[in-house]
Amino acid sequence: MTPDYSEFFKEYEALVAQVDAVFQKVAGNFAAEVKCRQGCSDCCHALFDLTLVEAMYLNSRFSELDETRRNEILIEADKADRKAYVFKKKASREAEEVEHSEILLRTAKERLRCPLLDQTDTCALYAYRPITCRIYGIPLEIGGKSHTCGLSGFEPGKSYPAVKLERIQDMLIGLSNRILDAVGSQYADFRLMHVPVSSALMTVYSDEFFGVSQEREGEAQTESAGGENA
């Protein structure tokens, strides 16, 4: 039986609505600088990861597509996942010799086509796209430094209001950890888990994935044995 994550997803959607409102405010105040327009897919060719709640939400919406379209996307997701693995393996090898900020900068320059893009560069799940996709075109504060889309009109050296991305990430991780508590997962490394869009689409978020199936099976057997003894 698939657990009900609807309440967690509602909280996530509320956070998304707040993020969208911030983007619209900045875009309204800096219309000439924000270049996000229909047809632009620059942010769809980037290497970035999702928190657990984002990955699960995207996966649930992905399951609503028709089977033919899902299979087409999964083929592209497999290709993208392999490329992401190569990029991350390279970054891992460089971690001991290069500063973390430099690795992040190099990663940001990697071009990885999102598997959700179709042949016309249209997102198959645009209405449900992750938060990173929603705020890419406005100034972001990451690690105390300002970053923005290379296609935007924001000028280096000038002061602009920036979204503190780490605060949003903290909220997403908190929500993700509540999901882990709810399902009873004992995997400590899941607490800070981030995965690319490709992995989010290909993963089956089942009891087995969270490592709770054997525990639940054992509880069921115990209850059954207790009933027989009665």
Residues near 149 by Cβ (< 8 Å), separated by ≥ 6?
35, 36, 42, 43, 136, 137, 138
Q: Does any domain span residue 1?
A: no
pLDDT in tens, 115-146: 999 989 999 999 999 999 999 999 998 878 88
In a domain, 150, yes or no: yes
Contact 55, 81 (CB under 8 A): no
- The Cα–Cα gap between 193 and 91 comes to 17
Structural domain boundaries, residue 151:
6-229
Residues 75-91 as b or e (16 or more Cβ within 10 Å = b): ebbeebbebbeebeeeb
pLDDT over 70 (residue 90): yes
Residue 85 counted as domain residue? yes
The total domain count for the chain is 1
162 in any annotated domain: yes
Q: At what angle do helices 52-62 and 6-29 cross, to 10 degrees?
A: 100
Per-residue model confidence (pLDDT) at position 213? 67
Residue 164 inside a domain? The answer is yes
Q: CA torsion 107→112→115→120, rounded to 10°?
A: 130
| Averaged pLDDT, 5-25 | 97
Residue 211 lies in a domain: yes
167, part of any domain: yes
In this prediction the pTM is 0.85
Please report whether residue 26 resides in a domain: yes
Please give the pLDDT value at position 143. 78
**Residue-wise pLDDT tens digits, 167-211:** 999 999 999 999 999 999 999 999 999 999 999 999 999 999 999
Contact yes or no for 27/149 (Cβ under 8 A)? no
Comparing CA positions, the residue from 44, 9, 10, 53 lying closest to residue 193 is 53
Of the two residues 44 and 110, the one the predictor is more confident about is 44
